[in-house]
Chain A
Amino acid sequence: MPSRFGRFGGAYVPETLVPALRELERAWGSARRDPKFRAELSDRLRTYAGRPTPLYRAPRLTLRGKGAEIWLKREDLLHGGAHKINNAIGQAVLARRMGKPRLIAETGAGQHGVATAMVGAALGFETIVYMGERDIARQRPNVLRMRLLGARVVPVTTGSRTLKDAINAALRDWTENLPTTHYLIGSVVGPHPFPTIVAAFQSVIGREILRQSRAAWGGPPDLAVACVGGGSNAIGTFHPLLGQPTELLGIEAGGPAGHATGAASLTRGTPGVLHGSYSYLLQDPDGQVLETASLSAGLDYPAVGPEHAELKESGRARYRAVHDEEALRAFHWLAEDEGILPALESAHAVYAAVREARRRRGQHIVVTLSGRGDKDLEGLSA
């Protein structure tokens, strides 16, 4: 299984983690060809997660865009409220195959933590979720959900106290507890084989889009838009569309208007190594990772999955940053136009889609609505 995407990716990890990564690669290699594994996965996705999700034509949002038809891939309707469950189910079944009784996960917005807590409960794992202290404060409802679902939420008080530091903490826990523990990483980041495995589990999004778009208008989308933090819902959307004539657009968090970096590693960063892979990174000239800024905790990450770095360099996908205020506007558009409260993460993509629509009359745009906004309400009403 290739460990790189062009020059990006790889496995920059302590030697201690190598046997675990190899074990995971072997387990995935055999599971993906095993009809029993595939049957269990698709059954759980259907009966537990709620797949397939609809592809919804958003008529009033389309009017606002004044151009292309805008369609929403409704990952927000999944159990738990986000696309994260696709990957969590897949990795949990894989972890059970490897005989590991304990799951650890990192979480930013809390959506991946909730997904891991749900599958941890449903499949009978001990579940520990690392979450930055700052994210705990801004995504309270998800913290409560994780606890109710039986997971232990461990606050991370080091560094920027956000997603980046939660991943550091999870990697350290994993190194200490390899024999018993699977690190259920939540995005297409980390060392090989994680980006490949997570992309495979999330590609169900793009496969459904392709099937549904063919049924709805007889072809693939002209443009697919998804938000990018680590980049898992975007990779899941893009992967099955790579061989199609679809334009691919990833939207990063630009942070507050005027902020130098926001959390936009592809559009404002340079190549480097963080969390085990070589990709784009927000860093200072000494190679120290910078603190990021975004109102959406799920995008607030200074690096990005290595496959996105390759898609950017090859030109197959484009990436742009949308800043906080723009994302907030799109949140309200979608609420008022369509009666849908999107996650602030997904609102970044909605904004870009509406802006793209104008010059694309007659085209079909699909936006992956990666999650719902219930978790963000506290911050919005404050």
Chain B
Amino acid sequence: MIPLAQGLRQARDRGEFLVVPYLLADRRRTPTVRHRLGILREAGAHAVEVGIPFSDPIADGPILAEAAARSLEHGTGWKDVLATVQAAATVLPVAVMSYVNPLLRDGAGRPLEELAEAGASALIVPDLAEDEARAWSDRARSHRIDLVRFLAPGADPDRARTVARSARGFLYLVSRYGITGRGGSNPAPPLKPLVETVRHTAPDLPILAGFGIRDATTAREAARLGVDGVIVGSALEEIWSNGDGDDPARKLVRALASGRSQSAFTRNPTRNPTRMPQ
């Protein structure tokens, strides 16, 4: 499997709107990982974010928090996580999502090495803001894993530049004040200027929006910010945990993938086709 960063850039440069679904590692689901992701790839997914369940997922709303609690009840452990990453990596490039604490086991080096061996090429750590992220980024890099950075509402342009400069793999734009799958009633300050600052600072860096992306409409709204694609978690998890089968999942990814083409998106960012990958 090609590294996630490369896969995302190639698809974007082909003009595709990027879709990255989230799949929580769960011992009971390990046998179905390849099948599920095969469906999503066919529907237009470009990579997958494999989640490591954690007992205290402070950035997650009810749907993903409950899914994590169930997964832990099912007895999901580190071996199951590696098995899930391994299976996923046969289908799509893999970014692993983990809170900090599960990555500290046996000292911080070992888990990253094992995730890399299983096929992960990027790492998303929701409770690792930029200031704490630097040491982790170097550590991840030594295992050829890109540590993804976040940009969130309320950031100032300086923060956007700092994050853009240090981001690897892609930049994760948090599209509103809130947690996964659920937002508060406070409108976020305009995100478009932040996206533009990132573009200016790191022109080749893919930007994906997440948090609250659940259908064609929310994908279109994200596309209007000028991002390259979206990440979808809670909406997909809801389909899977309801046992709704392959069809709704396929439809969801298709709807998201069409996010840009159906929108009034006019400014197709010009790309230099001869640019070398970072």
Query: How close is B160's CB to chain A, nearest CB, in angstroms?
Result: 11
Complex Cα spacing A19 to B130, Å: 12
Complex Cα spacing A272 to B104, Å: 7
Task: Let me know if B174 and A172 touch, CB within 8 A.
Answer: no
User: From B153, which residue of chain A is reached at the shortest CB distance?
Assistant: A16
Task: Let me know if B56 and A11 touch, CB within 8 A.
Answer: no
User: How many Cβ-Cβ contacts under 8 Å join chain A to chain B?
Assistant: 126
A118-151: which residues lie under 8 A (CB-CB) from chain B? none
Query: How close is A107's CB to chain B, nearest CB, in angstroms?
Result: 17
Contact with A along B86-123 (1 / 0, CB 8 A): 00000000000001111111000000000000000000
- A14-B126, A288-B72 known; A175-B59 Cβ under 8 A: yes
Task: Let me know if A19 and B154 touch, CB within 8 A.
Answer: yes
Complex Cα spacing A288 to B149, Å: 24
Residues of A within 8 A of B132 (CB): 10-12
- A17-B129, A176-B183 known; A273-B152 Cβ under 8 A: no
- A15-B150, A275-B56 known; A287-B177 Cβ under 8 A: no
Residues of A within 8 A of B155 (CB): 15, 18-19
Query: How close is B139's CB to chain A, nearest CB, in angstroms?
Result: 15
Query: How close is B14's CB to chain A, nearest CB, in angstroms?
Result: 29
Query: How close is A176's CB to chain B, nearest CB, in angstroms?
Result: 3
Residues of B within 8 A of A287 (CB): 54, 101-105
Residues of B within 8 A of A180 (CB): 186
Most chain B CB inside 10 Å of its own CB: which residue of A14, A15, A272: A15
Task: Let me know if B129 and A18 touch, CB within 8 A.
Answer: yes
Residues of A within 8 A of B179 (CB): 172, 175-176
Complex Cα spacing A175 to B212, Å: 14
Residues of A within 8 A of B129 (CB): 11-15, 17-18
Query: How close is A100's CB to chain B, nearest CB, in angstroms?
Result: 12
User: From B174, which residue of chain A is reached at the shortest CB distance?
Assistant: A16
Complex Cα spacing A172 to B64, Å: 13
Does A283 lie at the interface of the complex (its beta carbon under 8 Å from any beta carbon of B)?
Answer: yes
Task: Let me know if B65 and A288 touch, CB within 8 A.
Answer: no
Task: Let me know if B55 and A289 touch, CB within 8 A.
Answer: yes
Does A177 lie at the interface of the complex (its beta carbon under 8 Å from any beta carbon of B)?
Answer: yes
User: From B172, which residue of chain A is reached at the shortest CB distance?
Assistant: A15
Query: How close is A253's CB to chain B, nearest CB, in angstroms?
Result: 19
- A281-B101, A287-B104 known; A12-B128 Cβ under 8 A: yes
Does A362 lie at the interface of the complex (its beta carbon under 8 Å from any beta carbon of B)?
Answer: no
Query: How close is B275's CB to chain A, nearest CB, in angstroms?
Result: 27
Task: Let me know if B177 and A16 touch, CB within 8 A.
Answer: yes
Query: How close is B135's CB to chain A, nearest CB, in angstroms?
Result: 10
Task: Let me know if A14 and B127 touch, CB within 8 A.
Answer: yes
Contact partner of A273 (CB less than 8 A), chosen from B100, B130, B177, is: B100
Q: How many residues of B contact A (CB 8 A)?
A: 46
User: From B150, which residue of chain A is reached at the shortest CB distance?
Assistant: A15
Contact with A along B145-182 (1 / 0, CB 8 A): 00001111111100100010000000000100111001
Contact partner of A18 (CB less than 8 A), chosen from B61, B69, B130, B185, is: B130
Residues of B within 8 A of A115 (CB): none
Does B131 lie at the interface of the complex (its beta carbon under 8 Å from any beta carbon of A)?
Answer: yes
Query: How close is A4's CB to chain B, nearest CB, in angstroms?
Result: 10
Complex Cα spacing A165 to B58, Å: 9
Does A63 lie at the interface of the complex (its beta carbon under 8 Å from any beta carbon of B)?
Answer: no
Does A159 lie at the interface of the complex (its beta carbon under 8 Å from any beta carbon of B)?
Answer: yes
Residues of B within 8 A of A159 (CB): 55-56, 69
Does B78 lie at the interface of the complex (its beta carbon under 8 Å from any beta carbon of A)?
Answer: yes
Does A99 lie at the interface of the complex (its beta carbon under 8 Å from any beta carbon of B)?
Answer: no
Most chain A CB inside 10 Å of its own CB: which residue of B58, B127, B186: B58
Task: Let me know if A177 and B177 touch, CB within 8 A.
Answer: yes
Does B77 lie at the interface of the complex (its beta carbon under 8 Å from any beta carbon of A)?
Answer: yes
Complex Cα spacing A164 to B102, Å: 17
Task: Let me know if A289 and B59 touch, CB within 8 A.
Answer: no
Task: Let me know if B104 and A158 touch, CB within 8 A.
Answer: no
Contact partner of B101 (CB less than 8 A), chosen from A15, A18, A177, A273, is: A273
Contact with B along A270-290 (1 / 0, CB 8 A): 011111100001010111110
Residues of B within 8 A of A173 (CB): 184
Complex Cα spacing A286 to B56, Å: 13
Complex Cα spacing A10 to B132, Å: 8
Task: Let me know if B56 and A285 touch, CB within 8 A.
Answer: no
User: From A173, which residue of chain B is reached at the shortest CB distance?
Assistant: B184
Task: Let me know if B174 and A15 touch, CB within 8 A.
Answer: yes
Complex Cα spacing A50 to B144, Å: 59
Complex Cα spacing A3 to B99, Å: 20
User: From A289, which residue of chain B is reached at the shortest CB distance?
Assistant: B55
Query: How close is B108's CB to chain A, nearest CB, in angstroms?
Result: 11
A210-257: which residues lie under 8 A (CB-CB) from chain B? none
Residues of B within 8 A of A286 (CB): 77-78, 102, 105
Task: Let me know if B58 and A168 touch, CB within 8 A.
Answer: yes
Residues of B within 8 A of A179 (CB): 154, 177, 186
Query: How close is B247's CB to chain A, nearest CB, in angstroms?
Result: 31
Residues of B within 8 A of A19 (CB): 152, 154-156, 159
Task: Let me know if A14 and B150 touch, CB within 8 A.
Answer: yes
Residues of A within 8 A of B127 (CB): 12-14, 273, 276
Complex Cα spacing A377 to B31, Å: 52
Does A55 lie at the interface of the complex (its beta carbon under 8 Å from any beta carbon of B)?
Answer: no
Query: How close is A172's CB to chain B, nearest CB, in angstroms?
Result: 5
A149-188: which residues lie under 8 A (CB-CB) from chain B? 158-159, 164-165, 168, 171-173, 175-180
State the 9 A-B residue pairs at the shortest beta-carbon distance, nearest first.
Answer: A176-B184, A15-B150, A287-B102, A16-B152, A19-B154, A15-B152, A287-B101, A273-B100, A289-B55
What are 23 residue pairs bridging A and B, where the CB atoms are less than 8 Å apart in the complex? A12-B127, A14-B127, A15-B130, A15-B149, A15-B174, A16-B153, A16-B154, A18-B131, A18-B159, A19-B155, A168-B58, A172-B58, A175-B177, A175-B178, A176-B182, A178-B186, A271-B104, A273-B127, A276-B127, A286-B102, A286-B105, A287-B104, A288-B54
